[in-house]
């Protein structure tokens, strides 16, 4: 570092600076304005996009047979809803996603916990599971179809396997990496192995497990939709694919919108359950 | 292993250890460590963390251990706590058979669980040892009261200041009524003012009902304010270098620090310790490693 000595004493002038004061009320309203701006942008931007789409369609800037206007999609959705067809498909997809998720998450938690706790088990299984982890799960659908037939089973298996890997990896990684200090604190009070899991390792890993679950949920919606394209005759995936085959473009878009909303809703649900189960995490990270 | 067990003449204990100041004439012994050492062995190399530590404590005695960082103080506490087996020497402890947790530890960090409320943290040691929920809660509330945490029972640690968090660690350890309390630099992360306040609180608690405490610190003042005896350890691999009985009357107050005798003892301890800290510094200065 060099010292700048270019100014002769005679050239120095004094500068007085007064920092402007912002009253408490003013700063509070400024924060509130910022919050409203953010909310407005979050909702306003997609609304504007939809409005533009509507306009483009109405003005025939785009081919409304290929890109039906939002109002057309809503109309079609309403019809499908009223005649009960849509609800049946939603129900079928929801069933597969939720049951698959339950199976996959349970297995992921059990295997992840066991491997997170036992170094030996980790050494034995991790390389193999890691290798399967990178296989696109949808590629396993033919295998499941071959083994499990054409009913619900192959789709449940596919969703389950997908969810399993996300939950497994998060559970194992976080449990294995719980800081030694926490374990030591537990052991210093003579906690049993089960107690260690319940009081130390489990809660330490829980926030990260929910991160895994959230990702798992959105991917579960994805693979389930893809599986429904390929086999079966119900579910939102089938609705979309079948509409395309019939060139019922409006209906196809209804399916896409519904599956998007379903995914959003389900991941938000996981997030909410996660926040409810890990209040400490929330209170330490949420911006107030 | 030559030299792993230190020669007794190395310990320049000043006379006999007087415990009578705070307890019955001949309090029975509680901790007896002779030549306790620990060598960590990994596949590639081994580290002698602790060469030989000797410590004989009477029931109700408060011993402070000071020593250069890395000399094995934490390792010694872990061995006493039963978290780590020693590789040499013998360690004997005398605790009541009906103790819930005979030896409890207050850790410097990572001690308390962020996912438990303050109350649940303090109840932890009781609950995992089968004490009923009601009783656990009552006992925990008692200790929250004594550590000034009553208003924070339902808070999560993340919302507390550093001082409050360390109080939780202390309350959690005391709630199990341990026969021996181990404290590993519990106030090291706190600012100077807060540290003094917590020292005073700890003094008050320990003077109210005497308990056997091993307190590791790197602050000589802290050691003299709190301890009945100060043990000075050598640089790594650590061994007991010297011990001094702290002659100040109890109950002690904060003006103790200003007394000339306090200053003199502090200087004496620093002279002992300086010799251990300096060579390390010299070695670092020339980029070398201590042989
Ligand atoms: N688990 C371990 N494996 C290998 N070396 C360790 C381990 N724990 C501590 N050590 C080493 O032992 C020495 C003493 O550590 P520690 O007892 O933590 O020192 P202190 O608490 O006095 O600062 C240090 O050099 C440290 O690196
Ligand atoms: Mg230490």
- Contact between chains at A280 and B81 (C-beta distance less than 8 A): no
Cα gap B59→B96, rounded to integer Å = 11
- Contact between chains at A188 and B83 (C-beta distance less than 8 A): yes
Give the pLDDT confidence score for residue B276 in this predicted structure: 84
Question: Residue B27 carries which DSSP code?
Answer: P
Of B113, B158, B176, the CB nearest to A284: B158
Residue A191 near chain B (CB below 8 Å): yes
What are the per-10-residue average pLDDT scores of chain A (288 residues)?
59 85 82 91 93 91 88 93 92 96 96 95 92 88 90 93 94 94 94 94 95 94 94 92 92 95 95 94 51
Q: How confident is the model at residue B113 (pLDDT cuts 50, 70, 90)?
A: very high
Query: What Å distances lie between residue A208 and A119, A200, A278, CA to CA?
Result: 20, 14, 10
Q: ipTM surpassing 0.90, yes or no?
A: no
- Count of beta carbons in the 10 Å neighbourhood of residue B142: 15
Give the pLDDT confidence score for residue B73 in this predicted structure: 95
- What are the tens digits of pLDDT across the range B123-134? 999 999 999 999
Q: How confident is the model at residue B189 (pLDDT cuts 50, 70, 90)?
A: confident
Grouping H, G, I as helix, E, B as strand and the rest as coil, residue B90 is strand
- Dihedral sign, Cα of residue B272, residue B273, residue B278, residue B280: positive
Give the pLDDT confidence score for residue A15 in this predicted structure: 87
Ligand nearest to the CA of B238: 1
Q: How deeply is A20 buried, as exposed, middle or buried, from its count of CB atoms within 10 A (0-12, 13-18, 19+)? A: exposed
Query: Any idea which fold A70-284 has?
Result: MetI-like fold (1.10.3720)
Of A185, A192, A199, the CB nearest to B107: A185
Shortest Cα–Cα distance, B5 to chain A (Å): 28
Q: Where are the domains of chain A?
A: 1-62, 70-284
Question: Residue B230 carries which DSSP code?
Answer: E
């Amino acid at each position: 570092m060099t010292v700048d000595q270019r100014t002769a004493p005679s050239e120095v002038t004094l500068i007085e600076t007064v920092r402007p004061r912002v009253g408490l009320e003013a700063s509070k309203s400024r924060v509130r304005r910022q919050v409203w701006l953010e909310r407005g942008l979050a909702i306003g931007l997609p609304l504007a996009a939809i409005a533009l789409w509507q306009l483009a369609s109405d003005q025939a800037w785009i081919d409304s047979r290929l890109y039906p206007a939002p109002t057309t999609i809503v109309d079609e959705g309403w019809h499908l809803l009223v005649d009960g067809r849509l609800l049946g498909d939603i129900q079928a997809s929801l069933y597969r996603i939720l049951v698959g998720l339950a199976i996959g998450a349970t297995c992921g938690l059990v295997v992840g916990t066991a491997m997170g706790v036992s170094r030996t088990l980790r050494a034995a299984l991790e390389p193999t599971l890691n290798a399967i982890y990178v296989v696109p799960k949808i590629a396993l659908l033919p295998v499941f179809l071959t083994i499990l037939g054409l009913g619900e089973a192959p789709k449940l298996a596919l969703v389950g396997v997908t969810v399993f890997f996300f939950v497994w990896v998060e559970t194992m990684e976080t449990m294995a990496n719980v800081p030694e200090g926490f374990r030591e604190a537990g052991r210093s009070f003579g906690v049993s192995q089960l107690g260690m899991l319940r009081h130390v390792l489990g809660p330490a890993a829980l926030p990260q497990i929910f991160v895994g679950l959230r990702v798992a949920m959105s991917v579960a919606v994805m693979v389930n939709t893809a599986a429904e394209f390929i086999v079966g005759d119900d579910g939102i995936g089938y609705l979309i694919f079948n509409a395309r085959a019939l060139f019922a473009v409006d209906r196809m878009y209804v399916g896409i919108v519904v599956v998007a909303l379903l995914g959003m809703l389900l991941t938000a649900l996981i997030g909410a359950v996660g926040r409810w189960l890990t209040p400490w995490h929330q209170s330490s990270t949420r911006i107030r | 292993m030559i030299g792993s067990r230190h020669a007794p003449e190395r310990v320049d204990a000043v006379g006999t250890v007087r415990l009578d100041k705070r307890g019955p004439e001949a309090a029975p012994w509680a901790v007896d460590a002779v030549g306790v050492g620990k060598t960590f062995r990994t596949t590639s190399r081994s580290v002698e963390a602790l060469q030989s530590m000797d410590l004989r404590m009477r029931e109700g005695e408060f011993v402070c251990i000071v020593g250069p960082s890395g000399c094995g103080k934490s390792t010694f506490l872990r061995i006493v706590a039963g978290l780590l087996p020693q590789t040499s020497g013998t360690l004997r402890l005398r605790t009541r058979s009906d103790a819930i947790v005979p030896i409890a530890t207050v850790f410097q960090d990572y001690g308390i669980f962020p996912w438990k409320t303050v109350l649940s943290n303090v109840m932890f040691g009781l609950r995992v040892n089968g004490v009923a929920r009601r009783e656990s809660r009552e006992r925990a509330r008692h200790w929250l009261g004594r550590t000034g945490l009553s208003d924070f029972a339902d808070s999560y640690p993340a919302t507390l200041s550093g001082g409050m968090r360390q109080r939780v660690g202390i309350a959690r350890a005391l709630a199990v009524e341990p026969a021996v309390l181990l404290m590993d630099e519990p106030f090291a992360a706190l600012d100077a003012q807060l540290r003094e306040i917590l020292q005073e609180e700890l003094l008050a608690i320990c003077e109210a009902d005497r308990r056997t405490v091993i307190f590791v610190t790197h602050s000589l003042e802290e050691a003299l304010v709190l301890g009945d005896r100060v043990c000075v350890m050598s640089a790594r691999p650590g061994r007991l270098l010297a011990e001094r009985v702290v002659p100040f009357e109890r109950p002690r107050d904060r003006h103790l620090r200003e007394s000339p005798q306090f200053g003199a003892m502090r200087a004496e301890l620093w002279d002992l310790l300086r010799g251990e800290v300096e060579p390390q510094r010299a070695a670092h200065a020339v980029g070398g490693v201590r042989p």
